[in-house]
Amino acid sequence: MRRNLLSAAIALAFAGLAALPVGAAPGAPKTAALATTQLPRGVQPLHYDIAMTPDAKSASFSAQVAIDLEVMAPTSSITLHAADLKFASATLSARTGPGGGTAQNAQIAVDEAAQTATFRFAKPLARGRYKLALDYSGSIGSQAVGLFSLDYDTPAGKRRALFTQFENSDARRMIPSWDEPAFKASFALRVTVPSGEMAVSNMPVKSSTPLPDGRVSVRFADTPNMSTYLLFFALGDFERATANVDGTELGVVTRRGSLPEAAFALESSQAILREYNDYFGVRYPLPKLDNIAGPGRSQFFGAMENWGAIFTFEYALLLDPAISTQRDKQEVFATAAHEMAHQWFGDLVTMRWWDDLWLNEGFASWMESRMTARLHPEWNTHLETVGARDGAMRRDALATTHPVVQHVATVEQASQAFDEITYQKGEAVIRMLEAYVGEDAWRRGVRSYMREHAYGNTASSDLWRQVERAAAKPVTAIARDFTLQPGVPLIRVMEPVCKGGSMTVALAQGEFSRDQPARKPLSWRVPVIAGIAGGSATARTLVAGGKGSITLPGCGAAVVNAGQSGYYRTLYAPGAFARLAGGFATLAPIDQIGTLADTWALGMAGLQPASNFLDLAQATPASADPQVWARIAGGFDSLHAMYGEDKAGRARLDAYALARLAPVMAQVGWNAQAGEPTSRAILRANLIATLSHLGDQATVNEARRRYAAMASDPAAVPGPLRKTILAVVAEHADAATWDAMRRAARAEKSPMIKDTLYALLASSDDRALAERALALALTDEPGATNGAMMISMVSRNHPELAFDFALANIRAVNERVDATSRSRYVPGLAGNATTPAMAGKVKTYAEAHIAPEARRDAETAIAGINDRIQVRRERLPEIDAWLAQYAK
Ligand SMILES: [Zn+2]
């Protein structure tokens, strides 16, 4: 699964808002958290034969399932997962042994809180094989959970398409099942559907039989053994295009009329599949692999790796030249690469239980980055790995963090496991370990892991065993330090000693913590790579037992974590930092970005002056890599937000930031130049957004001018800049402009553009317009999946307003958030808040609405607020002093 990044869709249009995004969602019913997800182990499902008839219009379905199962220990009852299903009958027949063929009816007991159904039998069941036949019905939701519908506009009127989303624990909403990753079984799916609509599932259609009533019975080929959460079904007025790669039929499936917009995804998927067939050493095992686009969005996810039938929201799969940006294009590629990596890591080999979710997500995130850098080196995305690591460290430095491998007991906890630690820290740790053992050894380890565990389930230790064997190097101990312990190592760099033409640097390991600075540091074995500014030679060492040292060939400014593959913060002694700042322009771009990230974080934590970040910004030449400037612009934006109501302080900062960014913007320009690097196109969008947040009147005026000219001169708002320009206009809109945008949103027929316009309506910095956006979010106008997104958008500029509004309308808000996201949505609305009162409100809300074991996201939101309050009080004075000195 790829997480829902609001950024994925409209990202750079809103880039830079100080938001350190903290997960957040609406009040879960407390009962959901009680759903213990581990079933008794005495009964094992082998095969599910499902016949289902969905009724899209009435939002319900009826179904029968016949489950072949094995009773391994005598029992008089069978318990499986079921949620919101109504049972009409349950019959069990023995397949083998005495009594073979005779059937007995079961008494049915449903436990809503535990999400289970128990079938009790008058005659106890001996060991052996049985068939359990169930007749039942269920409902079709309007949010992306279980079997759900997405409605959209077409020139011919509204249409409805159906899809499924089962990860982490929602197959039980469509199929009574052993809904845990370790219970692998095969699935045969038959559906009765209207003729003229396309039905898609994991496997190809085996037969399609017209029925006398005009409907069609579609039967899909049996799946191989797999986990329930990977099953998929979709139905709608779709089109499909295909290509053949190494004997696999690759497909994209879209709403009718949108197929050309999926051309890039299909083309990319071909190249990616070829690479993966090679990398994993095990060919993609199913006959086909579709990628199905659905309109709208979820608060939980952007795409899902159902085996053979990836589901992706349109914003991460389709490219519409009228509105799609370079960043969107990269997201489409990265999303496909992520979900396709899961076809092996996750689908073919699956974690035994959610404790090891990171095996799926860390690996797919790492592979997504690796594949993008490999197939599109011109995008320079390897520089983005620093940002991903930084996102993980921000979260990992708070006391509310958790180890990469963590204990998961309930459905809610499993949902909360889809976070920065599982994804980005998992990715960063893999990158570090790969750099430690070498690319070839790592790949050999992955290949034998795939061979050894195909169609099976694993824990982290199974991966380490194979990598260690392939590398012939003790890597397991390091891997355990970073996956079984929480937190971020801090490597202190002492003043280097230059002697005889080489430089020795002593290193000490501590822990980087934002809210527990006095705690005794944990201990890690940390692989360290270092170099000298301006040079290409590096040296390696392993810091263990808290100490280490490294000798570099030559003397100069030491760069620790050269290449940025290490998962740790680097704190230089003052002299070493001064030399590094002096040589900053000579560093490789990735080390410039890494140093900026560490300097920012260490400064905000009070471990060095916060103004060191400004020293580096000052030392950065206008010709630096666009992504270096993007990081600096992001820093300015965060400082701007931090000043809050301190108008004078904010004005000093803005003046400096504008002076620093203006020459860069002048270089980049508003108009794309032929053959320019893609990172410049992204920086353009980024800078315009930042300058707009900083209140740069020239930028706002130019955006308004272009927006006004759009009707008569389409070139004024080129497609790749449309979101950016609209975002500036929306941010600074007056009531008349807001009304005009709303009329445009209403009239828009393209679901992707329509969604963007509703997001923009919620992004105004004007409080009265933000209130109007909130009211609009709870009407039917924006569409069922846009309401929650609009409230989140409002919370970026107006956290308290959005939070209070959600609480006052909690029932209506909950209806618009998928059940999987409920324990994080509302706390997340406080993600940008900066007052103790808001911390208190989140706490009160969590205690009233969220089960104690599912409060981690709420606690993290509170920790984030307290952190921002402290940073404002303690760190801004250093920034002030630096700016005052600079102004002289
Ligand atoms: Zn994933």
The secondary structure of 438-478 as a DSSP string is -HHHHHHHHHHHHHHHTTSEE-HHHHHHHHHHHHTS--HHH
Question: If you measure from the C-alpha of residue 362 to the centroid of ligand 1, how many angstroms do you get, rounded to a whole number?
Answer: 8
| Percent of the chain whose predicted confidence (pLDDT) is above 70 | 96
Using the predicted structure, report yes or no on whether residue 17 has a pLDDT greater than 60: no
- Please give the span between the terminal C-alpha atoms of the chain, in angstroms, as a whole number: 52
d(CA 578, CA 480): 35
pLDDT at position 573 is 98
Question: If you measure from the C-alpha of residue 423 to the centroid of ligand 1, how many angstroms do you get, rounded to a whole number?
Answer: 8
Checking phi first, is residue 247 left (phi over 0); if not, alpha (psi -120 to 50) or beta?
left
pLDDT, mean of residues 441-447: 98
Using the predicted structure, report yes or no on whether residue 30 has a pLDDT greater than 60: no
Q: How confident is the model at residue 12 (pLDDT cuts 50, 70, 90)?
A: very low
pLDDT at position 24 is 31
SS3 content of the chain, % helix, strand, coil (to 5): 45, 25, 30
pLDDT at position 819 is 82
- In tens, the pLDDT along 321-371 reads 999 999 999 999 999 999 999 999 999 999 999 999 999 999 999 999 999
d(CA 16, CA 256): 36
pLDDT at position 593 is 98
- In tens, the pLDDT along 155-188 reads 889 999 999 999 999 999 999 999 999 999 999 9
d(CA 782, CA 778): 8
Question: If you measure from the C-alpha of residue 477 to the centroid of ligand 1, how many angstroms do you get, rounded to a whole number?
Answer: 26
Question: If you measure from the C-alpha of residue 97 to the centroid of ligand 1, how many angstroms do you get, rounded to a whole number?
Answer: 43
- In tens, the pLDDT along 731-786 reads 999 999 999 999 999 999 999 999 999 999 999 999 999 999 999 999 999 999 99
* Phi (first) and psi of residue 458, to 5 degrees: -140, 170
Question: If you measure from the C-alpha of residue 378 to the centroid of ligand 1, how many angstroms do you get, rounded to a whole number?
Answer: 25
Cα-Cα-Cα-Cα torsion 224, 227, 228, 233, nearest 10 degrees, comes to -50
pLDDT, mean of residues 490-502: 96
Using the predicted structure, report yes or no on whether residue 100 has a pLDDT greater than 80: no
pLDDT at position 5 is 61
- In tens, the pLDDT along 47-71 reads 999 999 999 999 999 999 999 999 9
- The answer for residues whose C-beta is within 8 angstroms of residue 522's C-beta and 6 or more apart is 485, 486, 487, 489, 511
d(CA 185, CA 202): 14
d(CA 101, CA 243): 46
pLDDT, mean of residues 614-625: 96
d(CA 813, CA 805): 9
Q: In the block, which residue shows the tokens 């992707």?
A: 752
Question: If you measure from the C-alpha of residue 317 to the centroid of ligand 1, how many angstroms do you get, rounded to a whole number?
Answer: 15
d(CA 200, CA 736): 45
- Concatenated DSSP letters of 812-853: HHHHTS-GGGHHHHHHHTTTT---HHHHHHHHHHHHHHS-GG
Using the predicted structure, report yes or no on whether residue 524 has a pLDDT greater than 60: yes
- In tens, the pLDDT along 473-485 reads 999 999 999 999 9
Checking phi first, is residue 807 left (phi over 0); if not, alpha (psi -120 to 50) or beta?
alpha
Q: How confident is the model at residue 6 (pLDDT cuts 50, 70, 90)?
A: low
pLDDT at position 101 is 67
Tokens matching residue 234:
């979709």
d(CA 346, CA 350): 4
Question: If you measure from the C-alpha of residue 657 to the centroid of ligand 1, how many angstroms do you get, rounded to a whole number?
Answer: 37
- In tens, the pLDDT along 106-148 reads 999 999 999 999 999 999 999 999 999 999 999 999 999 999 9
Report whether 297 contacts 316 (CB < 8 A): no
* Phi (first) and psi of residue 864, to 5 degrees: -65, -40
Question: If you measure from the C-alpha of residue 342 to the centroid of ligand 1, how many angstroms do you get, rounded to a whole number?
Answer: 7
d(CA 880, CA 639): 11
Q: In the block, which residue shows the tokens 């094995």?
A: 70
d(CA 862, CA 515): 12
- The answer for residues whose C-beta is within 8 angstroms of residue 277's C-beta and 6 or more apart is 246, 283, 284
Nearest to 803 by CA among 845, 749, 759, 767: 845
- In tens, the pLDDT along 572-613 reads 999 999 999 999 999 999 999 999 999 999 999 999 999 999
pLDDT, mean of residues 225-233: 98
pLDDT at position 99 is 56
Question: If you measure from the C-alpha of residue 302 to the centroid of ligand 1, how many angstroms do you get, rounded to a whole number?
Answer: 9
d(CA 275, CA 280): 9
pLDDT at position 9 is 33
Question: If you measure from the C-alpha of residue 871 to the centroid of ligand 1, how many angstroms do you get, rounded to a whole number?
Answer: 33
Question: If you measure from the C-alpha of residue 741 to the centroid of ligand 1, how many angstroms do you get, rounded to a whole number?
Answer: 35
Query: Where in the sequence numbering do the catalytic residues fall?
Result: 339
Report whether 822 contacts 300 (CB < 8 A): no
Question: If you measure from the C-alpha of residue 341 to the centroid of ligand 1, how many angstroms do you get, rounded to a whole number?
Answer: 8
CA separation, residue 612 to residues 45, 511, 560 (Å): 60, 20, 17
Peptide bond into 244 cis (omega under 30): no
Question: If you measure from the C-alpha of residue 544 to the centroid of ligand 1, how many angstroms do you get, rounded to a whole number?
Answer: 33
Helix axes 799-808, 767-777, angle to 10 degrees: 30
pLDDT at position 15 is 35
The pTM for the full model equals: 0.95
Q: In the block, which residue shows the tokens 């208190």?
A: 840
Report whether 428 contacts 388 (CB < 8 A): yes
Using the predicted structure, report yes or no on whether residue 629 has a pLDDT greater than 70: yes
Using the predicted structure, report yes or no on whether residue 726 has a pLDDT greater than 90: yes
pLDDT at position 98 is 59
Tokens matching residue 362:
């860390």
- Report which DSSP code applies to 522: P
Using the predicted structure, report yes or no on whether residue 287 has a pLDDT greater than 60: yes
Q: Which residues surround ligand 1, an ion (CB under 5 A)?
A: 1, 361, 364
Q: How confident is the model at residue 20 (pLDDT cuts 50, 70, 90)?
A: very low
Question: If you measure from the C-alpha of residue 183 to the centroid of ligand 1, how many angstroms do you get, rounded to a whole number?
Answer: 20
Question: If you measure from the C-alpha of residue 171 to the centroid of ligand 1, how many angstroms do you get, rounded to a whole number?
Answer: 17
Which SS3 state, helix, strand or coil, does residue 43 take? strand
Question: If you measure from the C-alpha of residue 486 to the centroid of ligand 1, how many angstroms do you get, rounded to a whole number?
Answer: 21
d(CA 129, CA 263): 47
Which SS3 state, helix, strand or coil, does residue 482 take? helix
pLDDT, mean of residues 259-281: 98
**Residue 767 neighbours by CB distance under 10 Å:** 12
Q: How confident is the model at residue 407 (pLDDT cuts 50, 70, 90)?
A: very high
Question: If you measure from the C-alpha of residue 443 to the centroid of ligand 1, how many angstroms do you get, rounded to a whole number?
Answer: 20
Q: What is the mean pLDDT of the chain?
A: 93
pLDDT, mean of residues 296-307: 95
| Percent of the chain whose predicted confidence (pLDDT) is above 90 | 90
